[in-house]
Amino acid sequence: MSTLSPVGVDIEGRVRAICMALPDVTEKPSHGAPTFFVKKQFLMLWTHGHHDHQFPPLWCAAPPGVQEGLVAGDPKRFFRPPYVGGRGWLGMRLDVRLNWDDLEAICEDAFRTVAPKKLVAVLDAMPG
């Protein structure tokens, strides 16, 4: 069942737990933001906002066409982030009610977008 969570929860901790549960993920700060890698960067978490946005966003890699579809379908929640949006990355506002199942799926899709095939196979073999 989906868990909707209002602003005020430990978003950074929840996103970190989601990302670090994926195979071979590492976290390093980049530009002052928690950033997650699986050989390549796949997600940045701007918990205190980004100079282009006053709200806290998450930026992540996305499969082809996903950015366009989500931004068109829900432009109040999703956006094309600066710098990386031209490469298909997705921006997601975190100052709205969050559906944690959806957020987990977005993080996993970001991982799958950049991870080597052997690590995607490891993820597919994981229970749950």
Q: In this structure, what CATH number is given to the domain that contains residue 107?
A: 3.90.1150.30
Model pTM score: 0.87
Domain assignment present for 25: yes
pLDDT over 70 at 5, yes or no: no
| Count of domains observed in the chain | 1
Using the predicted structure, report yes or no on whether residue 61 has a pLDDT greater than 90.
yes
Q: Letter for the amino acid at 125?
A: A
Query: Is 43 a domain residue?
Result: yes
Which are the contacts of 42, defined by CB distance < 8 A and separation ≥ 6?
36, 60, 61, 110, 111, 113, 114, 115
pLDDT (average), residues 106-111? 98
Mean of pLDDT values over 21-50: 90
User: Are the beta carbons of 86 and 17 closer than 8 angstroms?
Assistant: no
Q: Are 19 and 25 in contact (CB under 8 A)?
A: yes
Is there a domain that residue 128 lies in?
A: no
Q: Is the pLDDT of residue 13 over 50?
A: yes
Question: Per the domain annotation, does 84 fall within a domain?
Answer: yes
Give the domain extent around 102.
Answer: 4-123
